[in-house]
Amino acid sequence: MNRILSASELALYQTQLTPSGKVRALLAHQWEHFPIAKSNHDALSGVREKQVVLDGLTVRVQFNSARIVSSAAKVDAKSISERKCFLCEANLPVEQRALPFGENYLMLSNPFLIFPEHLTIPHVQHTDQRILGRMGDMLALSKELSDFVVFYNGPKCGASAPDHFHFQAGNKGFVPLETELETILNQSQSVVDNQSLQIFRSKPFGANAIFILSEDPIEVERAFEKAYYHLALLSPDELEPMLNLLSWMVGDRYCLVLFPRRLHRPSQFFVEGDANILLSPASVDLAGVFITPQEKDFEKITAADLHDILSQIMVSDAVMEGLCEVFY
Ligand SMILES: [Zn+2]
């Protein structure tokens, strides 16, 4: 079957002639023709959210039961080998349509959405989730989809298909990391500040992070790779250093945020009884929208819980000290 939406199909939904407008047309088409995407999209307007102040910044907790499929996903090698890959084109639902990004990616509506406009962007081949060598693609995608924030979850940092390479993207104006960027950068430590490149060390919402900004995607990629190889040396047994990444355009500048990790899921995920909290943090959580698929967790979770969860899963201040030295 041909999954790619034709120009005439797109024209029925397209209101803006930009690449972001094309993607919005894909989403509008899918909400009409793809029942799971529609019902989850409709349900999103009714999901409950509450605000929590973390280290002086306001974040949100979202009760989103549809996300249980991702939050509780079994991503061990045995479970993965026993299931059909849901990102391979041959296994996508028949209703799922696509737009191409370059020759290697398909842009799809994510039926289990968090953002009101939420895309999954798998590689056309079944190939492992590894970011090395694909940062250029991530930045190109950010430039193409200038109304969106593009993100990447490492194979042990929230990707529910660690065996099939994919990015995701969500509309701008949703995650505090993007909407509060100026405030966050004002409270950050400048590590590099020259004409073509700015790098900041920051701890938005209590999560250690590196912000890399430049008009030149090659500069961003080069700085990212320095950080990547340093983190890889610290975790020689991992397939790639544990990390989450988000990138978007700020005017003419690319902004890449790197969250280095040390743990996939916090202790609260595994304990039984009252202390259990089913929260499996990935890029969107680290960007300030924490997803709880269970109502009991949404009701009880506090700023202290979020702080404790982040202190378990993110790298220490000492690791950040060493990491920043690679940029000098
Ligand atoms: Zn696959």
The CATH code of the domain that includes 304 is 3.30.428.70
Domain assignment present for residue 3? The answer is no
- Evaluated on CA atoms 212, 213, 214, 217, the torsion sign reads positive
Domain assignment present for residue 122? The answer is yes
- 76 C-alpha to ligand 1 centroid (Å): 15
Residue 184 vs residue 15, higher pLDDT: 184
Q: Residue 231 has what pLDDT? A: 97
The pLDDT confidence band at residue 15, using thresholds 50, 70 and 90, is confident
Which of 29-43, 71-85, 101-115, 180-194 has the weakest average pLDDT? 71-85
Domain assignment present for residue 199? The answer is yes
The pLDDT confidence band at residue 73, using thresholds 50, 70 and 90, is confident
pTM of the entire predicted model: 0.96
Q: Residue 71: is its pLDDT beyond 80?
A: no
Q: Residue 259 has what pLDDT? A: 98
Domain assignment present for residue 2? The answer is no
The predicted-structure confidence for 115-146, as pLDDT tens digits, reads as follows: 999 999 999 999 999 999 999 999 999 999 99
In degrees rounded to 5, what are phi and psi of residue 50?
A: -135, 155
- 127 C-alpha to ligand 1 centroid (Å): 7
Q: What range defines the domain where residue 63 resides?
A: 16-325
Q: Residue 160 has what pLDDT? A: 87
Q: Residue 28 has what pLDDT? A: 96
- Decide if 250 contacts 213 (C-beta within 8 A): yes
Domain assignment present for residue 50? The answer is yes
Neighbours of ion ligand 1 (CB under 5 A): 85, 87-88, 126, 164
The total number of structural domains that make up the chain: 1
- 95 C-alpha to ligand 1 centroid (Å): 18
- 201 C-alpha to ligand 1 centroid (Å): 35
Say how far apart CA 172 and CA 150 lie, in whole Å. 9
Q: Residue 320: is its pLDDT beyond 90?
A: yes
Q: Residue 250: is its pLDDT beyond 90?
A: yes
- 162 C-alpha to ligand 1 centroid (Å): 9
Domain assignment present for residue 4? The answer is no
Say how far apart CA 144 and CA 50 lie, in whole Å. 32
- Decide if 112 contacts 120 (C-beta within 8 A): no
